[in-house]
Structure 1
Amino acid sequence: MIDVRKMHREESDLLSHIDRSEYIRAIYRQIANGVEERAAGHECTGWDAASLRKLQQRFEEELEAGGAAFGAFEGERLVGFAVLAHQFRGEHKDRLQLDLMYVTRSHRRQGIGRSLMDEVKREAVLRGARYLYISSTETDSAFNFYRDAGSEPTEEVDQELFTLEPEDIHMIISLEKE
């Protein structure tokens, strides 16, 4: 059984439980009138020690700044997590960013990502957000997951996030119905 609950800054070491590896069939590139798909066909490996530490620091810093994290646990093992950033974005300051989200390889396509996304959406609404902003990796699995969760490419791209990750697909989900 999977238990989804809030995570705390001190639990950043649990991120090492996540196997982010995946086979990437295709990648997407954001273009003026939407997105285009390109064949990829390669394996993405797990995090090396330096990348894992950077991820843990990002997790810790976001929670210290007022963000929220949710973890999906199978017993004591973390099998997925999502982080809602604290900073409101957009012209009207009505968007909160889904900063991080991963589900371990062995537990994908079991509804864990959807459960984590539901928690992030609820928290964003509680904080007063009208939209959830997503700067998604360009992989087919990430893009299709977020699209299936109700997001679409945004016309108002956050320039700070674009500068940090220019290959990402920038998307938005309306929280008006949540």
Structure 2
Amino acid sequence: MHKVRGLENTMGDITIRRLERHEVENVWQIERREIVEDVYYFADGKLQSRPEFYDTRDWPEGEPELYTPILLDCFDHGGVFLGAFHQDKLIAVGVMDARPVQDYPDLRQLPFLHVSHDWRGQKLASKLYALCLNIAKEQGAAGFYISATSTRRTVDFYMRQGGVPTAKPDRTLYELEPDDIHLIHRF
């Protein structure tokens, strides 16, 4: 197992460590439950919001089947998968792709960052984000490219971390997720 700076310490009874390849599919165990009341969208070249209500109970139908091969490909190409565990239960995951983003080759994508519903508000997302950011710096990247779900909570989180919405998304990632808000976080 590769050592990652900052992983030596646990957070109380939570341990953060790298996932092994056979654990990648466990990311779908993250409880995604959330009430959404606002979403962001781009109009006239700027970020705007509108009220939309969703009572999200689980992963969208077909998403695990669509994204598991993408995540495994990321892992097989040196991607970093950091999992937060309470006892033996995976409660949060942060993923950094080691490959350059096509239209932004100095950046690395943060394709997956989720915290189970009952564990939100404990700074797990911020900790995983910071650890992935440190790894990206160590690997010589200039920052992150993030294709984020358009919910206010998610986009606001990334902006608090330093992400800036871009009106010029990476073409490949935009085709994959045209409703996402695409952000760039340069160091």
TM-score, with structure 1 as normaliser: 0.90
Match of 1:145 in 2: 157
RMSD: 1.8
CA contact (8 A) 1:9 1:59 kept: no
Matched residue SS, 1:86: coil
Distance (whole Å) between structure 2 residues aligned to residue 16 and residue 133 of structure 1: 22
Amino acid at match of 1:146: Y
What is the CA–CA distance in structure 1 between the aligned matches of 2:104 and 2:70, rounded to whole Å? 25
User: What one-letter code is carried by the residue in structure 1 that aligns with 2:37?
Assistant: R
Note if 1:157 corresponds to 2:169: yes
8 Å CA contact 1:89, 1:95 repeated in 2 = yes
Aligned residues: 175
Counterpart AA for 2:138: L
Give the Cα–Cα distance (whole angstroms) in 2 for the partners of residues 46 and 163 of structure 1. Answer: 23
Matched, 1:168 2:184: no
Counterpart for residue 85 of structure 2: 73
- 1:122 matched residue in structure 2: 134
Q: Distance in 1 between matches of 2:174 and 2:90?
A: 29
In 2, the alpha carbon distance for the partners of 1:81 and 1:130 equals: 22
Quote the Cα distance in structure 1 between the aligned partners of 2:63 and 2:166: 28
| 5+ residue gaps, structure 2 | 1-12
For residue 155 of structure 1, report the CA deviation from its aligned partner: 4.5
Percent identical across equivalent pairs? 26
Match of 1:54 in 2: 66
8 Å Cα contact 2:104/2:170 also seen in 1: no
Q: Is the 8 A contact 1:3 1:72 kept in 2?
A: yes
Structure 2 match to 1:40: 52
Aligned residue number for residue 29 of structure 2? 17
Q: CA deviation at 1:55?
A: 3.5
2:112 to 100, 105, 123: 100
Long gaps (5+) in structure 1: none
Could you tell me which of 18, 21, 24 is aligned with 1:6?
18
Q: 1:82 aligns with which of 91, 94, 100?
A: 94
SS of residue in 1 equivalent to 2:111: strand
- Check whether the contact 2:28–2:64 (CA below 8 A) recurs between aligned residues: yes
Shift of 1:92: 5.9
Superposed displacement of residue 134, structure 1: 0.5
- Aligned residues of 1:90 and 1:156 also touching (Cα < 8 A): no
